Structure 1
């Protein structure tokens, strides 16, 4: 699906779709790529408009401005981005506040409502770090690094 335009002032968008309404599972996240990193969003509302378009309302997209920021982007369902999960493996995670290396991504874990990055720490322990757009502050594709606002007490 591709986001065609914003619709209304509450964050709704119009999408092009070839999916039948019954194929859309609102209990599973859709992903939008920001700086080549999949960011999950949950569907609040999906209403077909004709045969190839639909109204879509995503959680956390609550204003016209936020909707305008995602216009032109593609949406992917969890099963569509499995090859892209491998692209995350090997990226280095840095604490945005301290700029210190936290660890290396070894996997993307698709936990319903809370997708996470499985990160190998320098001491060979692993932790799960939430993969949410509010926490991801910077992605440097050339250096293979992600700067995340690490929640206090996690590391």
Structure 2
């Protein structure tokens, strides 16, 4: 929605009487980013606020003071609003941090059947991660696991698979 900014969390509530805000942060590694201002979504627009202090007492939580928000009456209207930072502050993704969830948009290539198509969805279930492709006008789901993945070309955006015999037939109706 906001092309030049990325969401880091949501203001849950005020804390104390001096305008401190409790922010639920769902952006990993936020405490490694050095920022002196945040943008708070207000009526569909991003409004900048200077940060006078921020603490991270536990995972997914930040306590934040904003310049000019020095009383609970000024802080209360900000509760339940999303908080953003400019994209230029987003940390570069370390290639070593690549996960199966990052395979969305990759082209799946099976050893026997060739190119299956673009992975349109990657869903994490308790036991496994499932990828979805549209192959021969059918939605095909398959697990992303070490047994089936033969290689991943991160630069080229391709994943090489050896899917079990008969898996595609289940979706194609044995055509």
Q: TM-score, normalised by structure 2?
A: 0.42
Greater per-residue strand proportion: 2
Q: TM-score, normalised by structure 1?
A: 0.47
Choose 1 or 2 for highest CA Rg: 2
